[in-house]
Structure 1
Amino acid sequence: MTGDRVQSILDAVGDRFPLYADESGEWRTTRRGSWAAGFWTGLLWLRADPRIARTWTQRLTPWLTADTATQGMIFWYGTRLGDDDSLARQAAAALASRFDSAAGVVPWGSAFGDSGLRARVDGVAGTVPLLAWAGYTDLAAAHLRTHLALAEHPAWDRHDGRWRQLAEPPPGWTRGDAWLLLATADACRWLDVADHAHKQAQRWLDQHGTSPPPAVTTMDGQVDTSAAAIAAVALLKLGYRSEGELILRQLTAQHTRDGRLLDGCYDLPGGVAVNHELIWGTFFLVWGLELLEHPTGRCADM
């Protein structure tokens, strides 16, 4: 993806955050960006003028006070490619302040209408490296350790000291394994989790392979290119260059049109954006291609 493609998204969305686009290229947007806001600002840091990226990044500020573990995603991927760490450090402090020592997690939170003490696998990517980078290494390790122990299912609720499985996201959720793989890969720089990370990588490769169609993660036969892009970045960070590169090449050759990564699946059970360009899929595709071209560049430092 080139800077021209990013500019075309900017032109299409105006002052709103892009979330997903259908085959025609029409974007569904939100005022605050939801949990995916950081992937848009991260993409701007990768492919846009720093002044533009800086302006959009400042718009992440309202998420500093939100009760959600996705602060990790928003601020790790949304700010760390930039030139100012202040928002990231504030977000890490906010996450640390909500850590539940009995449960061993930063709870999923209530920002998206949930209640109770929940753990979701999409609350581990970004959160673990952000906490560790900011100096909260014990909390980061505990948060990751708990999610690894709960890895057989993507979402849990804690009641009377015990975890119980939740129905949503469902078992086999396309991005579940990919998020956990990315979290362990990201954590290797600060935590002694290399063995866990490589086990997750082998688990992902054993389950999905690197040849079409398994390289593009599926659930009930539904393609999700965003999950494959996430996993490809994690594999590259862990040194699985040939496997990560093969997945990215398949994505660009088979699922990209006019610079757009298509065939992403946001929410299959809910019927939401099941065959679309997803802003996080686009971000991870660009990040992965950047890692291939510049393996010791700024993307490798995250």
Structure 2
Amino acid sequence: MSAEGWAGPALAAVTERVGVIERAVGDRFPLYADPADGTWTTTGRGAWTGGFWAGLLWLRALRTRAASDRRAAAACTARLEPWAGADTVTRGLILWYGTALADGAPTPGDLRAGAFGTGGRAGSGTGAATGTRAGSGTGAKTGTGIGTETGSETGTETGTGTGTGTETETGAGTETGSETKTGTGTGTEAALLLRDRAARALLADYDPALGIVPWGGAFGGPRLLARADGVPGTVPLLATVAPDAAADHLRHHLDLCLGADARTGARAGTDADTDTDAHIGIGPEPVPAWRHDGATGLWRPCDEPRPGWSRGRAWLLLAVADALLRPGVTARAPGRFADAARRLLALDGVLTGPLVPPADVHRPDGPLDTSAAAITAVALLKLARVPGERSGACADRAVAVLGELAGRHTADGALLDGCYEAGRGLAPRHELIWGDFFLALGLAALTGLVDLSHV
């Protein structure tokens, strides 16, 4: 299946959708939209999904080359600044994807010259903002947090429209201050500095005894968790300052989620008295979440999310692809990441099977998750850049998945049929902001707008 003829118009529709979302949510962060009336559930500080909204704004700036779009992206990224010091490994998702496209978006000077920028240049415009806001935003809303990523966050918060309201959120802190300031710079330099700060903060939280950056306590619950959604974004972000730590973080997650031997599924450092696979009934499916038992020093599988979580396997594949594109990371575990890629690619629904998986692969009649499909497509496009016998198959499958999403699951640029959390029935057939982002990123790669080796 060729992308010629449909990928460009599909990307244009998603780009236009960004403007619709922007007008609906104002200076808040979109999380998911009800397919019935289009109402967005939002959050004030972004939570774990904030980087995807910033990333969409940077993608729009890349495509339109408009200085106003660049300023909007820079301002959104600046509002993510409090997360750099938050105790959560999801800083990888937030501050990698919230900054990775900033040095590829055109600066005002580039706009006049008609060329794309290469990053790191200062110019005129609106610079980075710092601080967080308390008690203002669009719409009236109350609550704590913004929902759950299968147990990672608590509470819900909704609201669109105009007006002001108050809010309380857990996570990045409760400081108040000025949200924007005007100065020099295009936003690129500030975004790169924020990225570097976040990477060094992640490194400071790296636990050499466990070999990982723990899940963290920013969203409540146990801090010493290892989860599939704790590796995407974290691997490339950590690799910018410490490739060895990035490799260890991913390798130890793979040892748990896939097994210490990716070919046999044997798991090291787990409870030897428990037949893990039989206990949770997984067969070949990854075990996406683990809890460290301080009393025994062993890892035990969490009850939720359970094996079969399609987005969990997509997150793992994305992190492995990022590692394989970074020689400094791959060199720390020769062969391990390639073995993991082979095992994940062998799962039904990755290179074969349905193009859009159910949210829970053990419930084929349950809701689909188009966001899992979009993440998988981007991971496959990355793996297509890794020399090997399956690179062509990865590219073909990625194009087929993106074509299916654009042709059958998208309306006016909105990727529908995403499932936030199937077990609780939370947003089971909705537009999800990270689904929109990965669809846009995949389409941008197909049209040559971005180089996935650097995102």
TM-score for the superposition, normalised by structure 2: 0.63
Residue aligning to 2:356: 216
Runs of 4+ in structure 1 off by over 4 angstroms are 209-212
Structure-2 separation of matches of 1:154 and 1:174: 10
Structure-2 separation of matches of 1:255 and 1:138: 40
| Shift, 1:206, TM fit | 3.6
Among residues 405, 423, 430, which one is paired with 1:251 in the alignment? 405
Structure-1 separation of matches of 2:415 and 2:339: 27
Residue aligning to 1:57: 77
Q: Indicate if the aligned counterparts of 1:235 and 1:244 stay in contact, CA closer than 8 A.
A: yes
| Shift, 1:116, TM fit | 3.7
1:28-177 matched pairs, under 5 angstroms: 28-48=41-61, 49-82=69-102, 83-84=188-189, 85-132=192-239, 134-151=240-257, 152-159=286-293, 160-177=296-313
CA 1:123–1:183: 2 relative to 1, 3 Å: same
| Shift, 1:293, TM fit | 1.1
CA 1:199–1:120: 2 relative to 1, 3 Å: closer
| Residue type of the alignment partner of 2:317 | L
Q: 1:77-121 CA distances to partner (integer Å, 9 max, x unpaired)?
A: 110100231111110111111111111110000111122411111
TM-score for the superposition, normalised by structure 1: 0.94
Structure-2 separation of matches of 1:211 and 1:261: 22
Residue aligning to 2:433: 279
What is the percentage of aligned positions where both structures have the same residue? Answer: 51
Structure-1 separation of matches of 2:356 and 2:438: 13
CA 1:145–1:204: 2 relative to 1, 3 Å: same
More helix by share: 1
Q: Indicate if the aligned counterparts of 1:198 and 1:238 stay in contact, CA closer than 8 A.
A: no
| Shift, 1:198, TM fit | 6.6
Residue aligning to 1:19: 31
SS in 2 for 1:73: helix
Structure-1 separation of matches of 2:338 and 2:432: 26
Residue aligning to 2:319: 183
Residue aligning to 2:454: 301
| Shift, 1:135, TM fit | 2.4
Q: Indicate if the aligned counterparts of 1:20 and 1:27 stay in contact, CA closer than 8 A.
A: yes
Residue aligning to 1:292: 446
Residue aligning to 2:147: none
More strand by share: 1
Residue aligning to 2:344: 203
SS in 2 for 1:18: strand
**Structure 1 residues 198-207 or 183-192, which shifts more?**
198-207
Q: Indicate if the aligned counterparts of 1:122 and 1:179 stay in contact, CA closer than 8 A.
A: yes
| Residue type of the alignment partner of 2:53 | W
Structure-2 separation of matches of 1:61 and 1:14: 18
Structure-2 separation of matches of 1:103 and 1:199: 20
Structure-2 separation of matches of 1:206 and 1:66: 34
| Shift, 1:209, TM fit | 4.6
| Shift, 1:161, TM fit | 1.4
Q: 1:4-48 CA distances to partner (integer Å, 9 max, x unpaired)?
A: 211100000011100000112111000011100000000100014
Q: Indicate if the aligned counterparts of 1:124 and 1:179 stay in contact, CA closer than 8 A.
A: yes
| Shift, 1:300, TM fit | 3.7
Q: Indicate if the aligned counterparts of 1:177 and 1:204 stay in contact, CA closer than 8 A.
A: no
| Shift, 1:210, TM fit | 5.2
Q: Indicate if the aligned counterparts of 1:119 and 1:157 stay in contact, CA closer than 8 A.
A: yes
| Residue type of the alignment partner of 2:411 | R
| Residue type of the alignment partner of 1:129 | P
SS in 1 for 2:348: helix
Structure-1 separation of matches of 2:75 and 2:45: 14
Structure-2 separation of matches of 1:200 and 1:251: 23
| Shift, 1:270, TM fit | 1.5
- Pairing 1:10–2:15 present: no
Q: Indicate if the aligned counterparts of 1:201 and 1:235 stay in contact, CA closer than 8 A.
A: no
Structure-2 separation of matches of 1:268 and 1:170: 11
Q: Indicate if the aligned counterparts of 1:66 and 1:111 stay in contact, CA closer than 8 A.
A: yes
SS in 2 for 1:271: coil
Structure-2 separation of matches of 1:6 and 1:45: 10
Structure-2 separation of matches of 1:209 and 1:187: 18
Q: 1:210-260 CA distances to partner (integer Å, 9 max, x unpaired)?
A: 567x22121112200000000000000111211100000011111111111
> Unaligned 5+ residue runs, structure 2?
1-10, 62-68, 103-187, 258-285, 385-393
SS in 2 for 1:208: coil
Residue aligning to 1:235: 380
CA 1:202–1:166: 2 relative to 1, 3 Å: closer
Structure-1 separation of matches of 2:341 and 2:433: 25
